[in-house]
Amino acid sequence: MCGIVGYIGKKDALPILLDGLRQLEYRGYDSAGISVLKDDKIKIVKRSGKIKDLVSFIKSHKDLDNSKLGIGHSRWATHGAPTNINAHPHLDCSGNFSVVHNGIIENFSDIKKELIKEGHKFKSETDTEVLPHLVEKYYKRDLKEAVLKAVRRLKGSFALGIISKYEPDKLIGVRRESPLIIGLGKDENFIASDIPAVLRYTKKIIYVDDGEMAVLTKDKVRVFDLNGKGRKKKVDTIKWTVASAQKAGFPHFMLKEIHEQPKVLKQIISSRIKGHSKITLEGINLKDSQIKNISNIIILACGTAYHAGLVGKYLIEKFTHIPVLVDLASEFRYREPIVNKNTLVIAISQSGETADTLAAVREARERGAVILSICNVVGSSLVRISDGVLYTYAGPEIGVASTKAYTAQLGILYLLAFYIAERKSLLKGQLKESLIREFKKVPEILNKILGHKNYISRIASKHLHFGSFLYLGRNVNFPTALEGALKLKEISYIPAEGYAAGEMKHGPIALIDEYRAVVCIAPESHIYEKMVSNIQEICARKGKVIIVSTEGHEGIERFTKEVIYIPKLDELFSPIVIALPLQLLAYYIAVKRGCNVDQPRNLAKSVTVE
């Protein structure tokens, strides 16, 4: 999705804006631009293509240097193709107001018609361009008031950065739904869509809430609601280092984040299991009475987060005996969902900014549900509309393909299932102790599997030319099959489908021949023999099988030499550990196929529009 940055201070704004846009590249974009205020004029350069194209174009525009105020933008096209004209920033008729925008103005065409009637001239096809013209229309020597009047006209979502030649000491930011943060520096201040854009300069962050405007000077930040009333805001200190938002020596963010999983799971376990086995879920904000009265649970999410929710269903139903519906947020929001005041909605989202998930949660809230979110971004939009939040604290996940966020979500879901069961007196004593003991093995097992990465890379080399893949799993590993397939398809562009292995006879077995690679997830489990039967059927039809199984089941090699073993672990926890080899398999196939692993085509890290 789009990214915005803004700077006001004592330094040269241009390099800071460009660096900020580079740190936001992971959000996915197809054009970029900046505008700076210099010699009493707003100067603007914007291009379709990548930041590097913008930078090389700027090199021939020396007159952008040494400005102290500016805004920048990376655009993921929604209204209007990715062209130079449609790139942001956008200007008003006079060129005295410049705006960058992340989000969608739903009523832009009516406003555009009104402004054209009043003589405003438009250049682009974008929804955003109505903004500088509205500010121009309302400007009466008070930029803050003009912006307040303009944004009150808008329907839809926006995070804005605004500058004007008339008030060179001000940088304005406004937020509704799309994320916006403020970075506090010494004699300088920043706005941005996300923390990595400012992390190099400051760790002091203010999260702008929905319906708030920020007015920044180089040494002061004031925040208002959209009626112009002042708001006091908390200053957070970010624990992330710049390094943690960089690649730390790995070739790709995705590989770095795959390797971070043992540490992330260890942190989840150590911070939430006190002493021997006391589970504490800070932020859950659910009284025991509320837990006892939960009639049904609905898990809402998209993509990988949805797959985590599917695993959560097995866990929560098994231990708490509460019925769980896992629903795609994009489906839930347009259905007539059955929700009541005893419904607990668990919303899962790495970014906390996924438009469908936010909309579905708002729908559930309106119908009286209690909202508990599982989220990786502190202070994100999802968190602000939740009654309770369980942070995964996985650190920034930059690679578009979600990896550590997925296993972190699973880790939280295991603890949540145990916690609710315990509160309902359904889990205690020996059983609870043994489950926690088993769960604590996960980080070390993930580390061991990482030790096999070269072996997995060799398996990838043998399979990167297959035209399509099928992933098969059963029970708690049916979602693992779905997730493995999504990882492969989204970064290698090879068609891949996850399926419940028990469904093979109901259709998919027709696909099997020597051109089809089939990944069979067959760890030691109560349905291991069922998976062996599936593998036999596939081999009988010359399917090319890759198996993930548990050490000690070497007999499985009678079907194929391509077996990835995981250390012994209770089958209940196998989804967390099996996700990792499947992530590596997808990663190595994509890299060997020359794909852009961190920024796959057509995808964005956070889908903040429908």
Contact 580, 573 (CB under 8 A): no
Q: Please identify, using beta-carbon distances, which residue of 35 and 304 lies nearer to ligand AGP.
A: 304
Maximum distance among all alpha carbons in the chain? 81
| Residue 429 CB, nearest approach to ligand AGP (Å) | 36
The strand pair at 278-279 and 324-328 is best described as: unpaired
Residue with tokens 């996940």: 397
| Residue 400 CB, nearest approach to ligand AGP (Å) | 5
| Residue 358 CB, nearest approach to ligand AGP (Å) | 9
Amino acid in the structure at residue 425: S
Contact 157, 107 (CB under 8 A): no
Name the residue among 266, 286, 169, 292 with its Cα closest to residue 220. 169
Contact 471, 497 (CB under 8 A): yes
- Structural tokens at position 54: 């913008």
Give the residue nearest to ligand AGP (CB).
303
Question: What residues contact 505, with CB distance under 8 A and at least 6 apart?
Answer: none
First-to-final CA distance of the chain: 11
Rg (CA), the chain: 26
Q: Please identify, using beta-carbon distances, which residue of 70 and 309 lies nearer to ligand AGP.
A: 309
Q: Please identify, using beta-carbon distances, which residue of 421 and 607 lies nearer to ligand AGP.
A: 607
CA angle 529, 476, 462 (to 5 degrees): 70
| Residue 302 CB, nearest approach to ligand AGP (Å) | 4
* CA atoms of 194 and 188, how far apart (whole Å): 18
What ranges in 194-334 are assigned the alpha helix state H? 253-259, 261-272, 288-292, 303-320, 329-332
Contact 87, 128 (CB under 8 A): no
Q: Please identify, using beta-carbon distances, which residue of 179 and 337 lies nearer to ligand AGP.
A: 179
Q: Please identify, using beta-carbon distances, which residue of 87 and 383 lies nearer to ligand AGP.
A: 383
- What are the φ and ψ backbone dihedral angles of 237, each rounded to 5 degrees? -110, 120
* CA atoms of 12 and 301, how far apart (whole Å): 42
| Residue 572 CB, nearest approach to ligand AGP (Å) | 23
Q: What number of CA atoms fall less than 13 Å from residue 483's CA on the CB side?
A: 35
| Residue 44 CB, nearest approach to ligand AGP (Å) | 32
Q: Please identify, using beta-carbon distances, which residue of 27 and 170 lies nearer to ligand AGP.
A: 27
| Residue 187 CB, nearest approach to ligand AGP (Å) | 35
Q: Please identify, using beta-carbon distances, which residue of 527 and 586 lies nearer to ligand AGP.
A: 586
What ranges in 424-507 are assigned the alpha helix state H? 429-439, 442-450, 453-463, 478-492
Q: Which long-range contacts (CB under 8 A, 24 or more apart) does 525-532 make?
A: 525/474, 525/475, 525/477, 525/571, 525/574, 526/475, 526/571, 527/474, 527/475, 528/553, 530/474, 530/501, 530/502, 531/472, 531/474, 531/501, 532/556
Q: Please identify, using beta-carbon distances, which residue of 320 and 402 lies nearer to ligand AGP.
A: 402
| Residue 158 CB, nearest approach to ligand AGP (Å) | 19
Q: Please identify, using beta-carbon distances, which residue of 350 and 549 lies nearer to ligand AGP.
A: 350
| Residue 352 CB, nearest approach to ligand AGP (Å) | 7
SS (H, E, C) 144-195: HHHHHHHHHCCCEEEEEEEEECCCCCCEEEEEECCCCEEEECCCEEEEECCH
Q: Please identify, using beta-carbon distances, which residue of 215 and 597 lies nearer to ligand AGP.
A: 597
Question: What's the Cα-to-Cα distance from 352 to each of 105, 494, 605, rounded to whole Å?
Answer: 20, 28, 11
> What residues act catalytically?
2, 605
Contact 604, 349 (CB under 8 A): no
Question: What's the Cα-to-Cα distance from 468 to each of 484, 491, 508, 513, 546, rounded to whole Å?
Answer: 13, 14, 13, 11, 13
Q: Could you check whether the bond before residue 89 is cis, i.e. omega within 30 degrees of 0?
A: yes
The strand pair at 516-522 and 544-550 is best described as: parallel
* Residues, the chain: 610
Name the residue among 126, 150, 152 with its Cα closest to residue 140. 150
Q: Please identify, using beta-carbon distances, which residue of 193 and 357 lies nearer to ligand AGP.
A: 357
* CA atoms of 468 and 77, how far apart (whole Å): 30
Binding residues (CB under 6 A) for ligand AGP: these are: 302-305, 349-351, 354, 357, 400-402, 490, 606-607
| Residue 606 CB, nearest approach to ligand AGP (Å) | 5
Name the residue among 156, 130, 132, 283 with its Cα closest to residue 210. 156
According to DSSP, the residues that pair with 173 across neighbouring strands are: 161, 214
| Residue 351 CB, nearest approach to ligand AGP (Å) | 3
What ranges in 6-107 are assigned the alpha helix state H? 13-23, 51-59
